[in-house]
Structure 1
């Protein structure tokens, strides 16, 4: 059964779709519902869906913004829009973004069934193509193993974790090596580079398991459909993103106690972190870890705690789920006004201004 997510601010429309009796006969199950695009994104992030049926015009994040966000994130999920005759200008935007089909309100059970039939044919074909692609990918990866060594990936991971920009040069050489091997076949090159980045990510997670607690780490998006120039940019951006993160959060420090300090702060970011608590956890004095951190990093441990908290605050704002005072509470600040002051000092604007400028206003 293909899983369907319905997105509409009109409760009556959602109720009507839930009552539709033909879902299973066409091979679908209505597995979730949302009242706007932002809520839909949260559900899509937590659960797998095959189809989104969304109203075009909604308060908050509308259907066009939802589709745009999905495509920008590399999500090619099948989307159907519910529209009225007056939504023509929106419809044109939907076509440009790759909407699958439209249903004009009000629509009959017969019309909905015909649309689902078309979607079923499309998804079945997509599933067949994916199976063929998996076979192709497997063959491409197996043939590449004789051309480059796993040591290339291990060395790249090692240099990234050292915080050295040499990782970018190393990545550049590895890319050129793979481009030469694939002889202009962008599709095969995309498969190889995507797989290499997956292995690199796994190597980093293996070395520093708790790094997964950092929410703004590089994400491995699909390379499908890119030409060689775009593939190289995406590959190098991913590597440089890791290097920036490693340096920003002091993860390149070789001192084991420094690593433990950073680990504690990152793992307890949603608490009221006291330097005394870190010292007690690591069985050393408060003064000692303060001096050690300043010596190794060049700035105070209290500033590091603030940095980790403010970066996490930016992530929480981007999720669009919390008010500013709620984020303040999550991060362990007793007063929202103080949190706002600290945020402005670190970022250069208030949480509300950051939310608005970044397009996360709700």
Structure 2
């Protein structure tokens, strides 16, 4: 049901509109009413309406002034003016400002029904257009995810279409465009995590971004591209685009066996390559020495165990395969800057 706001200082007019019996049959429901334009603007800030039926001559803020305020607020709503023959010139001015239609007082049920039928046809068409645009936007997101997961640089044409689709949906509102693109990046990140569940334990802060801070569309595009490059770099770093890659299998094995005493020899048995080859390849691809990587994963898991509050420090040390709690504490402080006890206090 499309939601309706009625604005008129005349109670009898508001009553006549509310007593119309076929609102729902036409696809509408009256959600609220206001006695003047200022009251209506307050209600519009709190709740969105699809259709606004407003008188033209009202105290404080007339219909034309209300419409101007509505446009400055960038509120999307279909507006119908109620007018008398004496203020027909106002009605024509309103149409120039974007009013959908006007009705002359006094009106009858038949003329109101005809007007609502035209409004519904218009709103239905607008809804379908928005839905279609959203579909194409989601389809572009799917293509972008497939591109990243294959380890390929995003196609320039695809990126441009994303910006065009986003701008059209949000009427070039830069802040809202930033919000929508933030959401797309978050969805892309979740798709990568879904395909590689172990990755979240390593790259839990895969993206640090806020595109709503961009001051121009060119800056927004630049930041979006930087974020995509960061995602692609991670995919290539761990060879996520290669399902059977040694790096991917090694990383997954370490994360999934974090509470064991992991060695290169164990990995060699798992992936069927020599430990020397794996060690050199791992360093070259990820930038980590294998033992450094194992320590990183163990320290991240230690943070998780400490946050849970279920284990004492020596129990965390034992679970991670460190026989000496003091040695574990030194490793943890080197990695986090805090001893386990200090880390627990800052949670």
TM-score (norm 1): 0.44
* Higher normalized contact order (CA 8 Å, seq sep 6+, divided by chain length): 1
Which TM-score applies when normalising by structure 2? 0.45
Q: Which has the larger radius of gyration?
A: 2
